[in-house]
């Protein structure tokens, strides 16, 4: 009898472990299909310029620009947003974590650009930490790969603090290498940054509401596609009233 009770208790213990396992590491709440808010994080800022080796503009400037465009697109899709920064200021990582964890039902998306000692290294990469974040990370990476001539750097796990300490699904997107001549130069182009933001927004909205729900801004369909198809574009002036 005692042996039976021990066995039942043992099974109950294993079952409770399995239940925890589905929640993810340190109790991450899987809100990836139910979230009401997206915390948009522009990497770096203020005294922290970000990527050191670069052809393009300072990383902190392009991360802010893509984050602001992304934020606008999400709001247009009726998704609530919180920005960790909205200007060129330094925000410590712990403060960013506090902002993401203050939300009741959110996902966290951090925008970065990469750099490498090897100038030829290029491509998009998306990082996550908890299992609950994988679908969102994968969705964003897949959408970025629809950009013409994009290179797939893959979806990876990482121990970045803003991912590790998040109690909601959290991903970090590396939108190409500023240290690579081609991707660095692309990052200078606001239309390209608009396209990056559009693809990331589409992935987030589809993750929440399903495929086919997201509507890209008319700018994307009217201007970006012909531009992206051109082999060597140069920089066309921004159309009046588009900024």
43 contacts Zn ion (rule: CB under 5 A): yes
Residue 50 in contact with Zn ion, rule: CB under 5 A: yes
Min dist CB 114 to Zn ion, Å, is 7
Full DSSP string of 113-163: EE--SSTT---EEEEE-SGGGHHHHHHHHHHHTTSTT--EEEEEE---HHH
CB of 204 to Zn ion, least distance (A): 20
Q: How far is CA 218 from CA 152, 182, 195, 223, 236, in A?
A: 27, 26, 12, 8, 18
Nearest to Zn ion by Cβ — which residue? 112
- Nearer CB in complex with Zn ion: 77/121: 121
Q: Which parts of 98-127 interact with Zn ion (CB under 5 A)? A: 112
- Of 174 and 191, the one with the shorter C-beta distance to Zn ion is 174
Residue 54 in contact with Zn ion, rule: CB under 5 A:
no
CB 223 → Zn ion: shortest distance, Å? 28
Q: Is 176 in the site for Zn ion (CB under 5 A)?
A: no
**CB of 91 closer than 8 Å to CB of 60:** no
Which residues are within 8 A (CB) of 155 and not within 5 positions of it... i.e. 6 or more apart? Answer: 125, 126, 127, 128, 134, 137, 138, 141
Determine if 184 is a binding residue for Zn ion (CB under 5 A): no
Which residues of the chain form contacts with Zn ion (CB under 5 A)?
Answer: 43, 50, 112
């Amino acid at each position: 009898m005692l042996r039976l009770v021990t066995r039942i208790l043992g099974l109950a213990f294993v079952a409770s472990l399995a239940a925890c396992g589905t929640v993810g590491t340190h109790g991450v709440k899987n809100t990836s299909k139910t979230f009401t808010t997206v915390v948009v994080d522009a990497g770096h800022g203020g005294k922290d310029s970000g990527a050191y080796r670069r052809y393009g503009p300072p990383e902190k400037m392009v991360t802010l620009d893509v984050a602001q465009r992304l934020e606008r697109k999400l709001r247009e899709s009726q998704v609530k947003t919180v920005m960790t920064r909205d200007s060129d200021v330094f925000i410590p990582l712990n403060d960013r974590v506090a902002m993401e964890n203050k939300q009741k039902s959110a996902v966290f998306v951090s925008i970065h650009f990469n750099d490498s000692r090897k100038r030829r290294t290029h491509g998009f990469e998306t990082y996550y930490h908890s299992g609950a974040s994988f679908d969102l990370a994968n969705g964003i990476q897949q959408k970025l790969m629809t950009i013409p001539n994009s290179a797939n750097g893959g979806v990876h796990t990482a121990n970045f603090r803003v991912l590790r300490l998040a109690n909601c699904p959290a991903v970090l997107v590396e939108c190409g290498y500023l240290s690579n001549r081609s991707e660095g130069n692309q990052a200078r182009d606001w239309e390209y940054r608009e396209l990056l933001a559009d693809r990331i927004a589409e992935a987030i909205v589809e993750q929440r509401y399903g495929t086919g729900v997201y509507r890209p801004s008319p700018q994307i369909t009217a201007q970006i596609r012909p531009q992206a198809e051109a082999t060597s574009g140069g920089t066309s002036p921004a159309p009046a009233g588009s900024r």
